[in-house]
Structure 1
Amino acid sequence: MKRTLLILPLAAALAACGNEGDGTSVSIKGDDGNTVASVGKDGRVAIKAPGFEGSLKLPKFEFGADNFEVDGLKLYPGSTIANLNVESGNGKEGSVKVQFDAPAAAAQVQNWFREQMQSAGFTVDLKDGVLAGKTSDGSPFTLKLAPAGDATSRGTLSVTGT
């Protein structure tokens, strides 16, 4: 029940911090690998925890580049987050996976990230078009980028050991 009490304010805070754009979906998984809480792009919050299960509708919200940071690294300016998944790790290391849309071509976004990562103390290698390495605190990461239209791209940043 403690987890439920912590998740309700988190879900409400997430839903309150945005505008009426496309929205962002967020999921939080517990140690057993099951989804404990999720917020859909439509603002529907679903919570499933021992002793409590329910859902409610809150206004849509949208995370942007200013609302997300990993070890001092922000997203490409003007980016919006489409999906954010947090897993506690089921007894192992946890992970964060963020899928975002950037208002620039994939090559430009990749170059920007590489410079920002190196400045933030990350180790960065480019292999098969994917940036990979370790954050400044030693957590492994990957960053995949793909074109998503004229001068836009879709990226997926995954960090484990969080």
Structure 2
Amino acid sequence: MTNRAWMGSISLAAAMLVTACDRSGDGTSITINADDGNTVGAIDGRSGDVKIALPGFSGQFKMPKLDMDAGNFQLNGVHLYPGSKIEAVDMNDGGMRIRFSSPAPAAAVRDYFRERLAKAGYALKAEPEGLSGRTNDNTSFRLNLEGGAERTKGTILLGG
């Protein structure tokens, strides 16, 4: 297992410790994949099931569901749009994907990110469905948005 996969496992444990846990509604799902594509850790946001498959250890257990929101995530100091809820975080050796929902139209969410991420050093280009570009450390970045007049579903892709 690479250092990145181990770091992903540590990130999973940290996410479990710092996020609010409850049994109501849908929670946040998290997966961590090794560079060979196999899942080394996963939390099911709906059931609270946790699965770990590391060299020398594998197991499954149940814990309270994770419920992550805008305050639990940031990109270079930029949080998700206020009132957003993180639905899933998928990590692998090449990057990360964060799926979220926001209580605003897609244009408002895109403008919020464009303004704040540009101040954080991101090189961005507006796209009809969101933003694309590079982070301040030259990692690829993409924000895909789809929504109606009151709610937006979004996906942030970093790297890979």
Q: TM-score range by the shorter chain?
A: 0.7 to 0.9
Q: CA deviation at 1:111?
A: 1.0
The aligned amino acid for 2:99 is Q
Given the alignment, which residue of 74, 84, 90 partners 1:85? 90
| 1:91 aligned residue | none
TM-score (norm 2): 0.85
**Larger strand fraction of residues:** 2
1:46 aligns with 2:51: yes
SS at match of 1:61: strand
Cα distance between partner residues in 1 of 2:19 and 2:140: 29
Unpaired runs of at least 5, structure 2: none
TM-score (norm 1): 0.84
Q: CA deviation at 1:71?
A: 2.4
Tell me the matched-pair count.
154
The aligned amino acid for 2:156 is L
Q: CA deviation at 1:49?
A: 2.1
Q: CA deviation at 1:9?
A: 8.9
The aligned amino acid for 2:121 is G
The aligned amino acid for 1:50 is P
The aligned amino acid for 1:17 is T
Alignment of 1:116-127 (within 5 A): 116-127=116-127
Report the aligned-residue RMSD. Answer: 2.5
Unpaired runs of at least 5, structure 1: 89-93
| Runs of 4+ more than 4 Å apart | 1-4
| 1:69 aligned residue | 74
Contact 1:71 1:137 in 2 (8 A): no
Cα distance between partner residues in 1 of 2:72 and 2:36: 28
Contact 2:132 2:143 in 1 (8 A): yes
Contact 2:12 2:32 in 1 (8 A): no
SS at match of 2:20: coil
| 1:157 aligned residue | 156
Q: CA deviation at 1:52?
A: 2.2
In structure 2, the CA distance between the partners of 1:158 and 1:12, relative to structure 1 (3 Å rule), is closer
Contact 1:30 1:87 in 2 (8 A): yes
Q: CA deviation at 1:17?
A: 2.1
| 1:17 aligned residue | 19
